[in-house]
Amino acid sequence: MNKKPNLAIVGATGVVGSTFLKVLEERNFPFENLYIMASAKSAGTTITFKGKDYIVEELTEKSFDKPIDIALFSAGASISLKFAPIAASKGVVVVDNSSAWRMDKEVPLVVPEVNPEDIKWNKGIIANPNCSTIQAVVALKPLYDKYGIKRIVYSTYQAVSGSGVKGINDLKEGLKGNDIKEAYPHAIAGNCLPQIDVFLENGYTKEEMKMVNETRKILGDDTLKITATTVRVPVFDSHSESVNVELKKPFEIEDVKKLLLEAPGIVLQDDLENSVYPLARDAAGKDEVFVGRVRRDFSVENGINLWVVADNIRKGAATNTVQIAEVLIKQ
C-alpha cells in the first residue's frame, strides 16, 4: 500500500474490539480515515480515539461502499460469516478475529512471527487464529524449524477474559460469593472447568479441535499428531499452557533455551533458583509470549516440556490482528 489506509473496526465495543483501538494507538498505526462499526445496539455512541471523537456506525451491507482498505473484525463468528465476504467483494482486506474463516482453504491463517508469507495469498480475508493457538505456535515455531515435531500434547489454563465481559463478571461476582453462571455451565470461582466452547461428536470441545487444526494449518503440516485439553480457570487475564512436544531430532536443553531466547516475540523466563517462570499476572498487558520451565520429557525419545503464557486479549487477539495489518500496509 503506498498511502495511509482507510481503516474500519467492526465490533469496537467488545473486549477485543476496544483493545484493537488501544493497540493501534500504542503502535501508532498509520491511517487516513477511521470508521468504527458495531451492531445497531451500540450504533450512535461515541468512541474517543487519539483525542478525536468517532460516532459508532451501524454495520450494514452498505458499510463497505466507502473506500475502506483494511477492516479489523471482532464481532463474533456469525457477523464475520455474513459481512467479511461483503467487505472483501468491495476490495477491503478483512483481518478477522473469529473462528468463522480460519479453516477455509481460501483464507490464510496467520501469526506474523510464524507464517507472515501466507498473508500474500489472501483473497480479501485473513484469519487471526484462536488465542490459545497463537501463543503455542509462537513458542513451537523455532523448535519446528530446527528439530521437526512429531507430536504435541496441549493442556491449557485459560483466563475468563476470553469469554468477554460475561466471563469477567462471573469471576468477579464469584469471588464475592455470588456464583452467577452467565458465561459458563458451572461456577468459575474456585473451580477448573474442563470445557471451553461446545462439545463435538468426538468428545472434544470446539476449542480443543481449534488448537489441533489451526496448529497444523499455521505450521503447514497435516502430519502433525496433536491432542489438547482446554480448561477455564479462575484467572482474569492471560492463558497459561503446558506444551509437551516430541521432537523428530535429538536436542540439548541449553540449545533449545538459546533458540527460544533469540526467537521473535518470545521472552524466556526460566530461572528455577529464583522461582522465575512465566505467570499470567505478569504477562497481562504485554504483547510477547513468555516461555519457561523448559525441560526434557524423560518418558519419550526427544521429548520436551514448555510452560507458555501470553495475554489472550493482546497477543492472543488484538495485537496479532494489528500485526497482520502492519504487514499488509508494508506490502
Question: Is there a contact between 278 and 240 (Cβ–Cβ < 8 Å)?
Answer: yes
Helix or strand or coil: residue 311?
coil
CB closer to ligand 3JM, 85 vs 148: 85
Helix or strand or coil: residue 234?
coil
Per-residue buried b or exposed e for 2-14, using 16+ beta carbons within 10 Å of the residue's own CB: eeebbbbbbbbbb
CB closer to ligand 3JM, 159 vs 247: 159
Question: Is there a contact between 171 and 236 (Cβ–Cβ < 8 Å)?
Answer: yes
Size of the site for ligand 3JM (CB under 6 A): 9
Which of 17, 162, 167, 292 is the binder for ligand 3JM (CB under 6 A)? Answer: 162
What is the nearest approach in angstroms of ligand 3JM to the Cβ of residue 311? 14
Does 98 sit near ligand 3JM (CB under 6 A)?
A: yes
| Closest C-alpha among 58, 68, 67, 15 to residue 37 | 58
Question: Is there a contact between 134 and 103 (Cβ–Cβ < 8 Å)?
Answer: no
CB closer to ligand 3JM, 163 vs 269: 163
Amino acid at 54: Y
To the query of whether residue 192 is one of the catalytic residues in this protein, the response is: no
**CA geometry: angle at 203 spanning 102 and 106, to 5°?**
15
CB closer to ligand 3JM, 84 vs 294: 84
Does 99 sit near ligand 3JM (CB under 6 A)?
A: yes
Q: What is the Cα–Cα distance from 135 to 133, expressed in whole angstroms?
A: 6
Provide the mask over 49-88, with x wherever binding to ligand 3JM is found by CB under 6 A and - wherever it is not: ---------------------------xxx----------
Does 165 sit near ligand 3JM (CB under 6 A)?
A: no
To the query of whether residue 131 is one of the catalytic residues in this protein, the response is: yes
Provide the mask over 191-230, with x wherever binding to ligand 3JM is found by CB under 6 A and - wherever it is not: -------------------x--------------------
CB closer to ligand 3JM, 182 vs 255: 182
Question: Within its chain, how far is the Cα of 120 from the centroid?
Answer: 20
- Which cell numbers hold the place of 191? 473451580
- List the catalytic residues: 131, 239
Footprint of ligand 3JM on this chain (CB under 6 A)?
A: 76-78, 98-99, 130-131, 162, 210
